[in-house]
Amino acid sequence: MSEAANTDTTAAAADTSNGKTGLADALREHFSGDAPITEKIQNFAKARPWASGMLVGVAGLLLAGTLRGKRR
């Protein structure tokens, strides 16, 4: 009987997210399916505006660093 209860607990724990896996779960939820990529991005931005803003900011910094070039 304890094995069945343990299996149920493990399955329930795998379905719930915590603070560390919440963003990964949200990405998986919003970017899976057959919808166009622009619709997926819009849905993610509406659901998690701070995370999407930070992602755009980091991408912008990386792009700016790449375009700046190398100084000697």
pLDDT of residue 30: 74
Degrees, nearest 5: CA angle 19-24-42: 115
Question: What pTM was estimated for this model as a whole?
Answer: 0.50
Res 5 pLDDT > 70:
no
pLDDT at 18: 65
Tens-digit pLDDT profile for residues 17-70: 666 677 777 777 777 878 788 888 888 889 889 989 999 999 999 999 888 876
Please give the residue that has the higher pLDDT: either 66 or 2.
66
Q: Are 34 and 17 in contact (CB under 8 A)?
A: no
Instruction: Please report the pLDDT score of residue 21 as a whole number.
Output: 75
